């Protein structure tokens, strides 16, 4: 039996937050390294290695990419606020509150394996 009985809407908001964060992270890997057009650079060879760091020129984000990043940020803020300000947290205090917040981050895992 789970230690905390999280309301379904809180569990759903936390899961949506995790999924949105993961989708944002995947999307971010497709973006240029700079949001604004920037010239590339290359550093000197690192001492005791042949490693030379650098970046190619960045074209900056397209309007569509910038809009998608803005959409992701707004959704992450909305979901974070929904989770953090949920009325359920008022029923807990002290160490239980901290423990419950940590447990909520993994509540979906027990639901996936059928133990919740």
The secondary element (H helix, E strand) that includes residue 55 is: strand 54-55
pTM: 0.83
- Tokens 């030379």 locate to 52
Cβ burial of 4 (10 Å; 0-12, 13-18, 19+) is middle
CB 110 within 8 A of CB 15: no
Model confidence pLDDT, tens digit, residues 21-80: 999 999 999 999 999 999 999 988 888 888 888 999 999 999 999 999 999 999 999 999
The residue ranges of every structural domain in the chain are: 8-32+62-112
d(CA 100, CA 90): 12
């Amino acid at each position: 039996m789970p230690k905390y009985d999280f309301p379904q809407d809180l569990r759903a908001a936390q899961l949506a937050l995790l999924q949105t964060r993961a989708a944002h992270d995947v999307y971010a890997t497709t973006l240029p390294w700079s949001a604004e057009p920037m010239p590339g650079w290359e550093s000197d060879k690192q001492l005791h290695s042949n490693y030379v760091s650098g970046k190619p020129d960045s074209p900056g984000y397209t309007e569509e990419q910038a809009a998608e990043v803005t959409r992701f940020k707004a959704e992450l803020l909305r979901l974070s606020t929904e989770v953090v300000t949920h009325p359920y947290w008022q029923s807990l205090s002290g160490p239980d509150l901290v423990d419950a917040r940590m447990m909520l981050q993994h509540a979906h895992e027990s639901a996936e394996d059928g133990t919740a």
